[in-house]
Amino acid sequence: MGRVRCMADLPDKIDLHIHTTVSDGTDTPLQLLAKVREAGIGVFAVTDHDAVKGGQIIRSLLREDDPRFIQGVEFSCKDEKGKYHILGYGFDPASDAVQSVVRHGHALRMRKVAARLDFLKAEFGFSFPEEEIARLLQLDNPGKPHIGNLMVKYGFADTKEDAINHYLNRLHFADEYVRPEEAITGILAGGGIPVLAHPFFGSGDELILGEEMQERLCRLIAYGLQGIEAYYSGFSNKLRNEALFLADQYRLFVTAGSDYHGENKLLKLGDTGLDGVTEYPEGLRRFLANVI
């Protein structure tokens, strides 16, 4: 495992939060790799929701002169206190511990897809051709964005966002989630580093700050959380600085990600908030030293 000792050893551009068609992105792993090369990104990670297949495909496509690649994942989690997205980095994707969480997350996703289709038909009379449903269910990890796009295609909603916010989000699943401690424990057991994604963002437009954020972070640290995504495309300078303060306070690793989804989100690959930073924070340097 390499050691990053100074700024000269660090890549100018990194992106550690990227999605492919294996979850809800629109770029295949091959297309994504081509875009990463074109964007001049030096270190990147694929963090598909509840899936490691995209990263495994990327690894099989890498050339010797390609950017450094980090195996990643993003588990969608929930408990009695709220929702969380737990990123994992540098783990063995074939480990039983990681695969167990992946299987659990995938099974929940498939049950939710079926329930959402039934809900749309029962509540609003929205139904889709059998061949469309078959294609949907054949996807690696179908979710709300895929159903939302179908609703737009058949005229049931004007936009994907409208479909999700005004229809799909009306159906709630009380206990149908991977718990954060399950995700964190699985990542650790697989030899990886668990990180809280976009820490201030909860359900919908919920913004988590102050004592609530401190309490949430401490609870996750007790489970084994090791890092926080302090650089994120959707963060203001104020939120970014607050995340860096928390990372220093709790001696956490720092990561940086765009949350790029291709055409499913208006985010640019590599847009992490690191542009113009002349010295990476200590937590980010420590993270990179542990994974590349």
Q: What is the pLDDT along the chain (292 residues), one digit of tens a residue?
A: 344 444 446 777 999 999 999 999 999 999 999 999 999 999 999 999 999 999 999 999 999 999 999 999 999 999 988 899 999 999 999 999 999 999 999 999 899 999 999 999 999 999 999 999 999 998 888 989 999 999 999 999 999 999 999 999 999 887 778 999 999 999 999 999 999 999 999 877 789 999 999 999 999 999 999 999 999 998 999 999 999 999 999 999 999 999 999 987 888 999 999 988 888 999 999 999 999 8
| pLDDT value of residue 172 | 86
The pLDDT value recorded for residue 92 is: 97
Place of tokens 């994120």: 232
pLDDT of residue 9: 64
| pLDDT of the residue at 203 | 75
Topology adopted by domain 7-96+179-291: TIM Barrel (3.20.20)
Q: Distance between CA atoms of 292 and 204, rounded to whole angstroms?
A: 34
Domain boundaries, the chain: 7-96+179-291, 104-170
Does the domain made of 104-170 have the CATH classification 1.20.140.10? no
Q: What is the 3-state secondary structure (H, E, C) of the chain?
A: CCCCCCHHHCCCCEEEEECCCCCCCCCCHHHHHHHHHHHCCCEEEECCECCCHHHHHHHHHCCCCCCEEEEEEEEEEEECCEEEEEEEECCCCCCHHHHHHHHHHHHHHHHHHHHHHHHHHHHHCCCCCHHHHHHHHHCCCCCHHHHHHHHHHCCCCCCHHHHHHHCHHHCCCCCCCECHHHHHHHHHHCCCEEEECCCCECCCCCECCHHHHHHHHHHHHHHCCCEEEEEECCCCHHHHHHHHHHHHHCCCEEEEECCECHHHCCCCCCCCCCCCCCCCCHHHHHHHHHHC
pLDDT of residue 266: 80
